[in-house]
Structure 1
């Protein structure tokens, strides 16, 4: 029998926010893609208006235009994810919650012989079985029967294995963009420097601070402008060592939860104390377990809230408990209008009016919460290098956070770190 790949794991992931149709009191991000999350768009618009009132610099765009931007961000997110599935149907498909996921693959947490035998009897093939390096989390990756849609495969296997954690392997996406070449550079930071930061993203190139790099996807490590810009920012912020984990490579289904979880395990094995993740996706039980295990071993995980706007579903891994969630601000200290949200917010850091060096492109402009997260991570890592404990490092980091506009958490970090080298 031919099989497609399926990954059996923990509870179902958060629903995909789909087409935005605004009701009088609430918009349902679900449209034609099936059951999405209810999103309070009027509430999100209220948050945007509050943000505008928080800033002292003049706002050029009319509030009405900004409100339309909030709605369009939600639509654009759905359109972008729909294109990913349509363009890469050989590797990507919708899961049972209408999230893009690795085609035909299901994850099972804590597999045992009895569960695996049941899965085989249902027509699922065991493609991989193992444990995440250094994290004490076991899983199995299963292939669904040929021609069975992934959503149905997940549901059917849950029925066959009640009470077990089973899920698709959802994809995560970068939360920032590299823009046009620029000529100017802001002043460098005078803050304490040093420390080690791990970057889970694409492949890093052109960084003299890169202490180690490993791929977790087909064709990885493969140079990525996004990841290379992050490494440039970390260098400019004074980070002494950078470790890179490429979870994308050349695979259209890269950025999946299993790859990120494996990358965390590798970082743990390398003794990386602070890890920055500028990727966003839905909640995933395997990744949640990996995050909790790494945190329990002393790792600080910093993540971006994404750029899908205030009406988008809460972003993960930023929303997992204990993860340092970071949003972005522009040069005037204003929260980015496109910044997404998490279930909690810890800090803000520069996310616009900034630049980095990217091999082959020179100095380029950057925008997005992708670039705020590593800058916040650089501050925690610098403090940890001298103070040791997580609690002391976070306390010291809090002391340098600048309180400003609302929706910046405990304050803005590394505000002068707007240039990478």
Structure 2
């Protein structure tokens, strides 16, 4: 199992990642990985994969250590981007110097302006009908304090930081082996359309369209490109990509994801996979609910920070299909996080994908389980987009249901991206 484990280190150059070859001392690998990023953490939120920097702690550590690693990783992330990222009132990373006011009106905006909160933008999430305003916080005021001040000025209003979300898996170049298993060999329905909200997708002949929801987007991402490769291997016919990271150090924020959901709804994408994790956010919660009301199935990964970490969102929002990961022997990944509920498991280790410029690449993380579950649901979604029927048919494919795998494991042989 150690030979298959991948590390993700947000070190210079941005997005560089490490593999753990068989026979390497795991504790030595931890020390070297930590040393490689001490004092220098670069790139966007896309580069900081939502798992312990010392990924081998999933073998030699415990769930408490995973949770501690998460906190340390977030501290490093915020410290390296203090001009663009700040702590919110729940001590979660968020876009610095900005707040979101939901359902703004002229009176509320005027009151906010009177307290020093200037209007940056007022808009609506396309196709979802959710109105919001972006407000600049008073200069020099910490984000957590600004939230408290604005809530006192506008009691009863929905005010939130624009929290960041992080990918929940790692792709390690040059360490992948073809497992010999592929969804093309199994007798299951194929086809369908899946949307991917993540980084930019490159190298996929299944990409129907790609939307940009961050500065510098679309920008190719190994993480998103690996997901697209897995979807192709699982038989998905069309992929819609939404890049919420681009080159923005505060990419992956709740507003970007909400906008991406609205764009997916406008494209009539029936199933959307989100392999990102972050805290609960009222704007994103409402956007997910509105998308589901339009008949969209939203699939979310439970993350890789262990069972002691806080529940992962968007997987924990009501009605989202929450997915955990299993290895090649059907064992739930020990580093798998948790959500408020669990629906399915799917492969999250002992698998490979094709990544442009990197070749066949080894993968590990619940990031890669969520799109495989989405692929199976999409393949069952008929022309009438009967969600209940599609989910019932998907349940019929699931193997070994349990408390740790939800309604069961989907697409167990889907371990080779195309």
Residue 161 of structure 1 aligns with which residue?
A: 154
CA displacement 1:57-86 (0-9 Å, x = unmatched): xxxx9xx99583322211110011111100
1:335–1:405 CA contact under 8 A, matched in 2: no
Shift in CA distance, 357/66, structure 1 to aligned 2, threshold 3 Å: closer
Instruction: Determine if the alignment matches structure 1 residue 245 to structure 2 residue 242.
Output: yes
Residue 137 of structure 2 aligns with which residue?
A: 144
What is the DSSP-based 3-state SS (H/G/I as helix, E as strand, rest coil) of the residue aligned with 1:170? coil
CA displacement 1:199-247 (0-9 Å, x = unmatched): 0000000000000001111100000000000000000000000000000
Q: Distance in 2 between matches of 1:81 and 1:192?
A: 41
Instruction: Determine if the alignment matches structure 1 residue 205 to structure 2 residue 205.
Output: no
| Equivalenced residues, count | 359
Shift in CA distance, 117/65, structure 1 to aligned 2, threshold 3 Å: closer
Q: Distance in 2 between matches of 1:101 and 1:392?
A: 38
Residue 115 of structure 1 aligns with which residue?
A: 108
2:295–2:385 CA contact under 8 A, matched in 1: no
Deviates more, 1:380-389 or 1:303-312: 380-389
Shift in CA distance, 295/405, structure 1 to aligned 2, threshold 3 Å: closer
Gapped regions of structure 2 (runs ≥ 5)? 1-55
Q: Which of 360, 364, 368 is the matching residue for 2:361?
A: 364
Q: Distance in 2 between matches of 1:186 and 1:404?
A: 25
2:401–2:407 CA contact under 8 A, matched in 1: no
Q: CA RMSD in A?
A: 1.4
1:173–1:255 CA contact under 8 A, matched in 2: yes
Q: Distance in 1 between matches of 2:350 and 2:384?
A: 32
Residue 287 of structure 2 aligns with which residue?
A: 290
What is the CA distance between 1:97 and its match in structure 2? 1.0
Residue 47 of structure 1 aligns with which residue?
A: none
Residue 330 of structure 2 aligns with which residue?
A: 333
TM-score under structure 2 length normalisation: 0.84
Residue 178 of structure 2 aligns with which residue?
A: 184
Shift in CA distance, 387/114, structure 1 to aligned 2, threshold 3 Å: closer
Q: Distance in 2 between matches of 1:266 and 1:247?
A: 12
Instruction: Determine if the alignment matches structure 1 residue 72 to structure 2 residue 69.
Output: no
Residue 390 of structure 2 aligns with which residue?
A: 393
Gapped regions of structure 1 (runs ≥ 5)? 1-60
Residue 346 of structure 1 aligns with which residue?
A: 343
Residue 26 of structure 1 aligns with which residue?
A: none
Q: Distance in 1 between matches of 2:76 and 2:260?
A: 26
TM-score under structure 1 length normalisation: 0.83
What is the DSSP-based 3-state SS (H/G/I as helix, E as strand, rest coil) of the residue aligned with 1:169? coil
Instruction: Determine if the alignment matches structure 1 residue 301 to structure 2 residue 295.
Output: no
What is the DSSP-based 3-state SS (H/G/I as helix, E as strand, rest coil) of the residue aligned with 2:323? strand
Residue 35 of structure 1 aligns with which residue?
A: none
